[in-house]
Chain A
Amino acid sequence: MTLTLKIAAIAATAAFSATSLAVAASEEMVAEANKEGAIAIYAATDLSQAQALLDAFTAKYPGIKIDYNDVGTNGVYNRVISEAAAKQVGGDLIWTSGVDQAVKLGADGYLTQYESPEVASLPSWAVYDKTVYATTLEPIGIIYNKTVLPEDQVPQTRAELAALFAKPEFSGKIGTFDPEKSGVGFMIQTNDSKQRDDYWTLAEAFGAAKGKTYAATGAMRETVVSGENAIAFNLIGSYALDWVKTTPNLGVAFTKDYTAAFSRTAAIVKDGPHPNAAKLFLDFMLSKEGQDAIASKGMPSLREDVDAGLNIKTLNELVGGNLKPMALDASRLEFMEPAKRLEFLKQWHAAVKG
């Protein structure tokens, strides 16, 4: 009994000292970060979406100049590995929707471990090896053309979606994310293939209906708005939630039995020129303030206390209660194996051939 108490007491002290340490480090870090005076971010998020976050950070830490590079997921990866090889590291922080790539960078030692004090407010699946942090939660959804597909006929489950594909009037009018041309598309499709037993049935139904594939959610939007496609599925639903506000004939939906969600991930680059500014920025991104700014631009937050936009709780309610976030763990590396990748794509081609 005494032993347990003792351990509890030690644990409590340890916890206490850890917290106070975090706070102390934080003040020191701000001073150091201010001394560094700048941060370089390699990102795959459009600046128009990121601006609110950057503005909020600048308002709080005016002494730190942000150098924001929107270079796409492959650009982020490319820069990190080639700069490391040249020993000319220019980036401090990456912020990418290429979750697999970020985890791989972490596993390959290109990133720095850092335990953010905000970690307590995050779900446990949202951090990989104290290195890669999830910063958003973006649901995978469906968009449809309201004039072609009446709202009451929109599929509510994956099974209904497959049933819809079987209807002759939808032949040639279905779109989805291309796993071959887009890293995010690949991630969404492979994740589904692991999570859902009915994935290949759906893929085959899609193929039989002569569905088409696209490299970006925006491209699918164009085709659905115009009526070229009646419906598109497995795309970034958080974008769609924003679009439907201004586009009268566009609708967005989520299947109630299963809605996957991925996260834009952030991590600190090893040997970056402004390590403290990078830590400060990461902390800020994960804080309520930062998450509010991110959520205000249509990227739902992981924190339940965020109210400037959707958060993990309200989002789950919105999509019908079965939100399945993609965890940041070593399983993300599975499909980074070239052989495994090609095998999936081969299977995909066979399934969607129709």
Chain B
Amino acid sequence: MPAETASVSANAVSSHPTQGVATRPATTMPLPGNARAFRVTVISLLGLCVLAPILLIFYQSFLDGPFFTPASKLSLEAYRYILTDAMFYDALWNTVIMAAGMVIIAVPLGAGLAFLLTRTDVRFRKTLEVVVLVPMFISAIVLAFGYTVSVGPSGFITMLSRHIFGAAPWTLYSLTGIVIVTGLAHVPHVYLYVAAAMRNLPSDLEEAARSVGAPIWRVFLDVTMPMVLPALIFATALNLLVGFEMFGVPYVLGDPSGIVVLTTYVYKLTTLFGVPTYQLMAVVVVLLVLLTLPLVWYQRRLLRHGRRYAALGGKGPRTQVMRLGRTGQIIALSFVGLWLLVSVMLPIGGIVLRAFVDAWGQGVNPLEHLTVKHFGNLIEVPSLFRGIVNTVILSVVGGAAAVAIYLVIGLAGHRNQGFSNTLLDYMVLLPRAMPSLIVGLAFFWLFLFVPLLVPLRATLISLFAAYVIVGLSYGLRLLQGTLIQIGPDLEEAARTTGASIGQTWRDVVIPIVRPGLVGAWALIMIVFLRDYATGIYLMSAGTEVIGSLMVAQLQSGAMDTIAALAFVSILLTGVGLGLAFRLGAKIHD
């Protein structure tokens, strides 16, 4: 799910009104041409890795069969089928509703949360600042499965509610259910970006409003919000993008009641014809890319011109937080508590319970059926056990390698301007417009048909390569965010004493950003850990990963195993997050 991860990325930079560097007037840097060979090499290599899968999909969409069968001819038949298929428009409409619904839920809640945690004296602030980020790091498939288990039609809470009240007046397997789940889960994405913008605001305007007697909510609506409007717009664009790419939640929650969105429609096309119809899948992906491209473009523009909106720029005096008062504290904490209950406790609690019971439901007390046998499977069945090991290897080792790659790309774009940088920007953003399921499929083909890559297909390297592309935009934002913190004067100093750009990077830039790299590594680790879509087509015996194993098991309906895997995934994410915070990952300011 590139988009979701990507959405975090923007936040990483957001705190530093970055990329503004490009608009910063004349820092007298040496000519960028000095590292041209390096930049050109990196950008072309990246272009190859990014464009190969995209062009392959694009080409596939204009054929009437799989691109690799000789009988396939150029044809617009696939476009004709999709564009006249009623289900496609259904899926499109559902996608639009889902994305818009997400925005309507996540943006106000995220903004409110940001306001509480940056502009008021709400209690437990330090703890909350960490806890509110948790939903962002749980794999979407785990999250969706967690909701199924707790508040689905046969969920524990649903059962309890029916037992006590005689009814459970909600339907999880509906578009509303999907919208609420995804909306709540993406509150942190909005929070991060808006909070970063709010932290930079001086508090004098708010104080002025307070001094003439405005209640806090009025200050929030009439003073603070308008000042962070650009951040809100950005968060909205971001969430729309995420909504278009979402796969896990609609797949798990929409499937039982037949609700399709574009990404699940792609997946469904596989079974509809009994044999995979790649040309149809490719068409949907091409249309998806065309739909999301304007969002990507708009987002890039917002980032570029971010500084223009910073009306009240400059580091003001230390901001004065507003006092909430006793009632205010209670309201604020209940609001945060309720949200955490619904978006963290419900799904995770459900999974933890489900992983340890083997019977539940009407008239059955699950506590009488506690068991650890589902975990026995994870150890006994080699592929499941390998899945856990591989996931850890890919996250820890692969994460580190990915950071190294992102650093090289980041340096290629560092203090680079002009056309090649625009090119780089788009190349980084492009994969985000493709569902990672399809990125995985494209890489499967590349590793099958490109002779040089063939021996690597059944190794973790093929998965790693796909992961690097899927995590590209997030990873690069993290790295750029770190790189941009270095004042240009340090590099200039090195250059004036005769260092080459290479030496400057090696001896000045990299040592300075090292702590940032470690933090980035921890975050990339979590991103790789939570991925589930990339490996669906790509994994093979020996290269299983937890996330894709869960999707595979979902097809056969082995819920016991899924629950146990989800539990392990949550544990690993917890460890990763703990590590990230210990290593001082800059998730925000």
Chain B contacts for A148, CB-based, 8 A: 362
Chain B contacts for A78, CB-based, 8 A: 276, 537
Chain B contacts for A60, CB-based, 8 A: none
Q: How far is the CA of A134 from the CA of B258 in the complex (A)?
A: 32
Q: Which of A150-189 contact B (CB under 8 A)?
A: 180-183, 186
Chain A contacts for B268, CB-based, 8 A: 180-181
Chain B contacts for A215, CB-based, 8 A: 255, 555, 557
Cross-chain contact A68 with B275 (CB below 8 angstroms): no
Chain A contacts for B361, CB-based, 8 A: 145, 225-227, 249
Cross-chain contact B274 with A71 (CB below 8 angstroms): no
Q: How far is the CA of A271 from the CA of B586 in the complex (A)?
A: 53
State which size class the interface on A falls in: 35 or more
With an 8 A cutoff between CB atoms, is B153 at the interface? yes
| Selected interface stretch from A40-48, A124-132, A196-204 | A40-48
Cross-chain contact A222 with B274 (CB below 8 angstroms): no
With an 8 A cutoff between CB atoms, is A336 at the interface? yes
Cross-chain contact A228 with B271 (CB below 8 angstroms): no
For A186, give its contact among B68, B271, B358 (CB under 8 Å): B271
Q: How far is the CA of A98 from the CA of B271 in the complex (A)?
A: 11
For A81, give its contact among B66, B449, B454 (CB under 8 Å): B66
Q: Which of B154-198 contact A (CB under 8 A)?
A: 154-155, 159
**Given known contacts A69-B540, A183-B271, A227-B361, A216 and B66 CB-to-CB distance under 8 angstroms:** no
Cross-chain contact A213 with B258 (CB below 8 angstroms): yes
Q: How far is the CA of A98 from the CA of B275 in the complex (A)?
A: 10
With an 8 A cutoff between CB atoms, is B497 at the interface? no
For B154, give its contact among A47, A75, A98, A223 (CB under 8 Å): A223
For B381, give its contact among A40, A47, A247 (CB under 8 Å): A47
For A85, give its contact among B69, B271, B364, B561 (CB under 8 Å): B69
Q: Which of B255-304 contact A (CB under 8 A)?
A: 255-258, 268, 270-276
Cross-chain contact B66 with A226 (CB below 8 angstroms): no
With an 8 A cutoff between CB atoms, is A348 at the interface? no
Closest-CB distance, A241 to chain B (whole angstroms) = 15
Give me 18 A-to-B residue pairs in the complex whose CB atoms sit less than 8 angstroms apart, sorted by A's number.
A46-B556, A46-B558, A47-B383, A69-B541, A74-B271, A98-B274, A180-B272, A181-B255, A181-B271, A214-B557, A218-B556, A218-B558, A219-B559, A220-B557, A222-B557, A222-B559, A227-B361, A335-B274
Closest-CB distance, B281 to chain A (whole angstroms) = 11
With an 8 A cutoff between CB atoms, is B88 at the interface? no
Closest-CB distance, A67 to chain B (whole angstroms) = 5
Q: Which of A37-96 contact B (CB under 8 A)?
A: 40, 46-48, 51, 67-72, 74-75, 77-78, 81-83, 85-86, 88, 90
Chain A contacts for B377, CB-based, 8 A: 48
Of B257, B382, B552, B555, most buried by chain A (CB within 10 Å of CB) is B555
With an 8 A cutoff between CB atoms, is A246 at the interface? yes
Chain B interface, number of residues (Cβ within 8 angstroms): 52
Closest-CB distance, A112 to chain B (whole angstroms) = 19
Given A68-B383, A68-B541, A222-B557, 5 further pairs, Cβ under 8 A: A74-B276, A85-B69, A90-B458, A226-B361, A228-B154
Cross-chain contact A180 with B556 (CB below 8 angstroms): no
Closest-CB distance, B543 to chain A (whole angstroms) = 10
**Given known contacts A77-B276, A180-B268, A67 and B541 CB-to-CB distance under 8 angstroms:** yes
Chain A contacts for B159, CB-based, 8 A: 226
- Complex: chain A residue closest to B81, CB-CB: A338
Chain B contacts for A183, CB-based, 8 A: 271, 274
Q: Which of A210-268 contact B (CB under 8 A)?
A: 212-223, 225-228, 246-249
With an 8 A cutoff between CB atoms, is A101 at the interface? yes
Contact with B along A81-124 (1 / 0, CB 8 A): 11101101010000000101100100000000000000000000
Closest-CB distance, A182 to chain B (whole angstroms) = 6
- Complex: chain A residue closest to B543, CB-CB: A69
With an 8 A cutoff between CB atoms, is B445 at the interface? yes
Cross-chain contact B557 with A217 (CB below 8 angstroms): yes
Closest-CB distance, B154 to chain A (whole angstroms) = 3
With an 8 A cutoff between CB atoms, is A270 at the interface? no
With an 8 A cutoff between CB atoms, is B510 at the interface? no
**Given known contacts A47-B383, A68-B541, A74-B270, A101 and B364 CB-to-CB distance under 8 angstroms:** no
For B445, give its contact among A82, A180, A248 (CB under 8 Å): A82
For B537, give its contact among A75, A180, A220 (CB under 8 Å): A75
